[in-house]
Structure 1
């Protein structure tokens, strides 16, 4: 079972996303947070395998700051946002699921994320059109290259935030 933390500042959307996720018995929501502080509290309370993070959060927090902290704790992230960033951030997240999304989009995105986390390779992945999966080997990748194999070891062996930011800045 994949344990998921939702970091979303809109309560109705967070609750709806929780219900969409829990329609599938393979997934379980551990908690819902609306900013960096509550996300860290939620992780202490019950550690997730994956965090779904909106980029615009409450009380001045951003999804980027949440992703940095959760990555330092070894928790994989998947951005969920209304407007996907124009560049890939494989050091912060597995990818980005753009809003609006359907139940099927959420399930397919979570299955893809679970495959990456568990080290499973799918012959013909069924990804929703609004999901970008980032390639950790290529920080300039926009996730659109379907032939790219996603190496789960690249996500498991996280580097320090300073190393990741330096590498990311050098690529831009």
Structure 2
């Protein structure tokens, strides 16, 4: 059973989120909050697996709450909800430790998939959010964009070829189990690779690593580093 806290200042929104999550028998809402401060207090009390936070709430907002939750209750994954177009919040949320980011107007199935993914330790960006992240990064000036892309690629080049494979999968929002099946690895091996990737990239969560993957252009479907097929045999460990 995945235990969930919901935080939104609008009662009707909280009711709607609860109704969507109730459709999955493996999900259970254990607490609801009307603002970020209350959300932090309830997370510390109930220790849910996932906290679903609205980005903008009166008083302590979702981003500030996410940072405190990740600092004080690191076992609770954070999923952020926002309205379409609030791009400036996406990268801020990810930098504060949020593992998932969803648009409120998205499909109900995305909310369930996002909560499940974050509960399993994966990062989850809804397809629309992932597209907005890439568009936001691409919208910067050519110099800043090239500098950031160059820095990301340099950091990624420090990884082994297999770690780059795993990072590309992280950028696609896959869980350890899904990565293991896609790459034909044991799940424990994937977990070890993920830990190494986070340490080598100097980031503290999978979502931040996923952003680096997008910046470096190694997410499947994007132009990036040389194909994994070109790796040397000793790099496949």
Band of TM-score, shorter chain: 0.5 to 0.7
Aligned length: 142
What per-residue deviation string (whole Å, max 9, x for no partner) do you get for residues 39-84 of structure 1?
13322442201111111002x2211110011101212111111134
1:114 and 1:96 map into 2 onto residues whose CA distance is 13
Give the drift of 1:100. Answer: 0.5
Q: Taking structure 1 as reference, are residues 113 and 10 closer, same or farther at Cα in structure 2, changes over 3 Å only?
A: same
Deviation at 1:130, TM superposition (A): 3.2
Give the alignment partner of residue 87 of structure 1, picking from 85, 91, 114: 91
In structure 2, what is the Cα distance between the partners aligned to 1:106 and 1:80? 9
Structure of greater relative contact order (alpha carbons < 8 Å, 6+ residues apart): 1
Partner Cα separation in structure 2 for residue 37 and residue 147 of structure 1: 35
| Pairwise CA distance, 1:116 | 2.4
Unaligned runs of 5+ residues in structure 2 are 134-151, 153-166, 177-190, 213-237
Provide the rounded CA distance (Å) in 2 between the counterparts of 1:62 and 1:18.
Answer: 20
Please give the secondary structure, in 2, of the residue aligned with 1:30: strand
How far the C-alpha of 1:129 sits from its partner, in A, is: 2.4
Aligned equivalent of 2:108, options 87, 96, 103: 103
TM-score normalised over the length of structure 2:
0.50
Q: Does 1:70 align with 2:69?
A: yes
Paired residues of 1:109 and 1:131 also in contact (CA < 8 A): no
Q: Runs of at least 4 residues of structure 1 off by over 4 A?
A: 150-155
Larger Rg: 2
Q: Is the 8 A contact 2:63 2:96 kept in 1?
A: no
Deviation at 1:90, TM superposition (A): 4.8
Q: CA RMSD in A?
A: 3.5
Q: Secondary structure at the match of 2:47?
A: coil
Higher strand proportion, which one?
1
Q: CA deviation at 1:102?
A: 2.5
Q: Where in structure 1 are there 5+ consecutive unaligned residues?
A: 118-124, 135-139, 141-145
